[in-house]
Amino acid sequence: MKTSIATVSLSGTLGEKLEAIAAAKFDAVEIFESDLVTYSGPPADVRKACGELGLDIVTLQPFRDFEGMPAGQRERAFARAERKFDVMHELGTDLLMICSNVSPESLGGIDRAAADLHELGERAARRGLRIAFEALAWGQHINDYRDAWEAVRRADHPAVGLVLDSFHILARGTDLSTIRSIPGDRIFLVQLADAPKLQMDYLSWSRHFRNFPGQGELPVLDFMKALQATRYDDALSLEIFNDQFRSGSAHSVAIDGHRSLRFMFDQLGTGTIDLPPRARPEGVSFIEFAADDQDAPRLEMLLSGLGFRRAGQHRSKAVTRWTQGDINFVVNREKEGFAHSFNLVHGSAVCALGLEVANAARTFERATLLLDQPFHQPVGPGELDIPAVRGVGGSLIYFLDKASDLGRVWDIEFAQTEFGQAEFDQAGDAGHETGLTRVDHISQSMQYDEMLSWLLFYTSLIDLNKVPVQEVADPGGLVRSQVIEADDGALRFVLNASQSQRTQSSRFLSELFGSGVQHIAFATDDLLATVARLERNGVKLLQIPENYYDDLEAKTDLTPDQLMTFRNHNILYDREGAAEYLQVYTQTFEQRFFFEIVERRGYRGYGAANAPVRLAAQARLSTDAP
């Protein structure tokens, strides 16, 4: 199917929109009338620009308040349509899209609408043009695609066809089975949009909250499956009214749009481009910190306190590996290359994540086909070329697997440091380790309007599921929190964003000069034992206020002993049925980054009930800071 997007979906002037749409590799475009009206040149210039960019124009839209008008107004509606036909000739498109009438003056009746469509079809056909009819969810008389189809069917004219718009159909929860019986050649255009489930009037919901397929909660795939039964094979056009998209970068929104279509075709098994399957995540291979010479020793001291041991030195670079359990940290203090430039912009921060997948090369291939941004830098002698793409905030995501040499990266690129495990044990400090076993989850903070974009990035590439969004109270405002996780918990991300400038999530963005990893949670099998060792190692944990424990006492049946232990060691606790969750946080490193340690006793969540307590405790510390 031909991929298309409506100009209304993007920011910028019409010229900028068309360039962004072409750059994102769409086949076609829907020209929204207001973009044409505000364009500085004649419609013929738009035709020329589209021609040069290789974009077909699938339709001019919308044509409003046409069918069922009473006498007098009816003639004017036809005269308006004739003027649109003139514009379409200049523009070089043969299809006019008509949405169902919302005027209170319009008259109902399918036959009346059909007669009007028939007559306009006659007039269009005389000029070699076609018209297509869409039921708006808030249409005065026709607000259901089944009625629009009945009007088109009764109009019985080859130049009159139907528009199916997934939003109008799915928002009303209209039964999809009728779609299957519509002949594909009577459908002239299909518009696609997803949206979050919201309780509001259809018009406001549609005009402000639509998003790309896969970003919302509507059953767009079910709609597509019904459409497949019709054998429709023409343009599939994204028509997305979204306030954030219209203020964002036209280029990146257009790429997100095309990525959403490719991902959708992939899920339906109908793509013309064959994508390797979504990557099955097997865990986090490593977390890379870019640190300058001043911060690196402090960071390494913290890692050491957390029980990591220095396990390797890169053979040719100022890069050290720290490890514990299945966790690997890489501290990069190189003075050139990616990590260094990242450090110059952001200061000491996580600059890359290494993800273990079943097949790294195939994952990279899928990423490329999903229009993700590949990353390459020169590889030194004896180094592996680890496939990578750009992730949140310009950081990198590397893909590793066990099947190739990538699984031996530590042996190939790193020399064991003199202070190996044997010496480590001999030093009589076997108790140094704190029992951290693996990365439990990675929390990334980002701009509010980036969230849907990264949600799509992760879920289209990796086999991760989204969990319903949570709103968490920070003393500075609300934080929106989106979890995406693997079924088996092998990989979990928490994406956070806030519209308030005063939340911790937003302060992090200004401290870091951009989006990025704000905290990493490690798993332990025994949090109490881990905390005892952390305290012995001198790691400072975030202080939790007394009131939290009084509240915990009131709402749980924890024993006085358990409560005393949690209180004494700043442990947060949550319970879901019989499942329990224990958490502690380190104090914040360099005012912005911190670690969390969790013990899951059958618990699947993230302690959302405790998040406001943690955020308030961190806010108190940051205001107390000199």
Q: Give me the residues that bind Mg ion (CB under 5 A), please.
A: 165, 191, 239, 521, 596
How many CA atoms, within 13 angstroms, populate the side-chain half-sphere of residue 617? 22
Pairing of strands 56-63, 28-32: parallel
Residue 388 or 495: which CB sits closer to Mg ion? 495
* Helix and strand counts by DSSP (H, E) for the chain: 21, 26
- Please say which residue, 432 or 600, places its beta carbon nearer to Mg ion: 600
Which residue number places its CB atom closest to Mg ion? Answer: 165
User: Residue 307 class from Cβ within 10 Å (0-12 exposed, 13-18 middle, 19+ buried)?
Assistant: buried
Nearer of residues 210 and 310 to Mg ion, judged by Cβ: 210
Nearer to Mg ion, 401 or 485 (CB): 485
Min separation Cβ 416 and Mg ion, Å: 33
**DSSP conformation class of 392:** G
Check if the beta carbon of residue 572 is closer than 8 Å to that of residue 613: yes
CB closer to Mg ion out of 3 and 343: 3
CB of 542 to Mg ion, least distance (A): 12
Q: Which two tokens stand for residue 565?
A: 């232990």
3-state secondary structure of 598: strand
Q: Which is nearer to Mg ion, 241 or 414 (CB)?
A: 241
Which of these, 214, 226, 210, 212, lies nearest to 171 by C-alpha position?
Answer: 210
Residue 401 to residue 106: CA distance in whole angstroms: 63
Q: CB count, 10 Å around CB of 538?
A: 9
CB of 443 to Mg ion, least distance (A): 5
The identity of residue 372, as a single letter, is D
Mark 249-288 as b/e (b = at least 16 C-beta within 10 Å).
bbbebbbbbbbbbbbbbbbeeebeeebeebbbbbbbbbbb
Q: How far is the CB of 607 from Mg ion (least distance, A)?
A: 7
Q: Which is nearer to Mg ion, 8 or 24 (CB)?
A: 8
Nearer to Mg ion, 165 or 599 (CB): 165
Question: 214-234 b/e with 16+ CB inside 10 Å = b?
Answer: bbbebbbeebbebbbebebeb
Looking at the Cβ atoms of 165 and 288, the one nearer to Mg ion is 165
- The nearest distance, CB 241 to Mg ion, in angstroms, is 9
Question: Minimal distance in Å, beta carbon 165 to Mg ion?
Answer: 4
Measured over the CA atoms of residue 297, residue 303, residue 307 and residue 309, the dihedral's sign is negative
CB of 164 to Mg ion, least distance (A): 9
Answer left, alpha or beta for residue 156, where phi above 0 means left and psi between -120 and 50 means alpha: left
Retrieve residue 577's tokens: 């049925």
CB of 239 to Mg ion, least distance (A): 5
Instruction: State the pairing for strand pair 579-585/572-576.
Output: antiparallel
**Which residues 6+ apart lie within 8 Å of 196 measured at CB?**
209, 211, 216, 217, 469
Q: In the complex with Mg ion, which residue's Cβ is closer, 413 or 596? A: 596
Strand partners, 572: 583
Least distance in angstroms from the C-beta of 21 to Mg ion: 17
* Cβ nearer to Mg ion, comparing 100 with 434: 100
Angle, to 10 degrees, between the axis of helix 560-568 and the axis of helix 546-555? Answer: 160
Contact of 106 with 69, CB cutoff 8 Å? yes
- Tell me how far apart the alpha carbons of residues 376 and 366 are, in angstroms, rounded to a whole number: 16
Q: Which lies closer to Mg ion via its Cβ, residue 5 or residue 279?
A: 5
- Vertex 284 angle, CA 283 and 285, to 5°: 110
Of 460 and 482, CB closest to Mg ion: 482
Return left, alpha or beta for 371; rule: phi > 0 is left, psi -120 to 50 is alpha, else beta.
left
Least gap, CB of 62 to Mg ion (angstroms): 7
Of the pair 165, 433, the CB lying nearest Mg ion is at 165
Specify whether the CB–CB gap between 509 and 445 falls below 8 A: yes
Q: How far is the CB of 472 from Mg ion (least distance, A)?
A: 11
**Closest distance to Mg ion from the beta carbon of 54 (Å):** 24
Q: How far is the CB of 525 from Mg ion (least distance, A)?
A: 18
Nearest to 91, CA basis, from 144, 137, 43: 43
CB of 614 to Mg ion, least distance (A): 8
